[in-house]
Amino acid sequence: MDERRTGVVAGLSAYLLWGLFPLYFPLLEPAGGLEIVAH
């Protein structure tokens, strides 16, 4: 049962992250690509 719970939590976390990425990437727009890679 513990492995199943871990799998469900991992799946929900991945789904949530993929949903939030479109909100996060525009925040990085003012910084250049080189600046992002350098940090």
* pLDDT tens track for 1-39: 699 999 999 999 999 999 998 898 888 888 888 888 898
Host domain of residue 12: 3-38
pLDDT at 37: 87
Number of domains in the chain: 1
Q: Which residues contact 12 (CB under 8 A, 6 or more apart)?
A: none
Report the pLDDT value the prediction gives residue 25, as an integer from 0 to 100: 85
| pLDDT of amino acid 16 | 96
| Whole-number pLDDT of residue 2 | 92
Three-class secondary structure of residue 11 per DSSP: helix
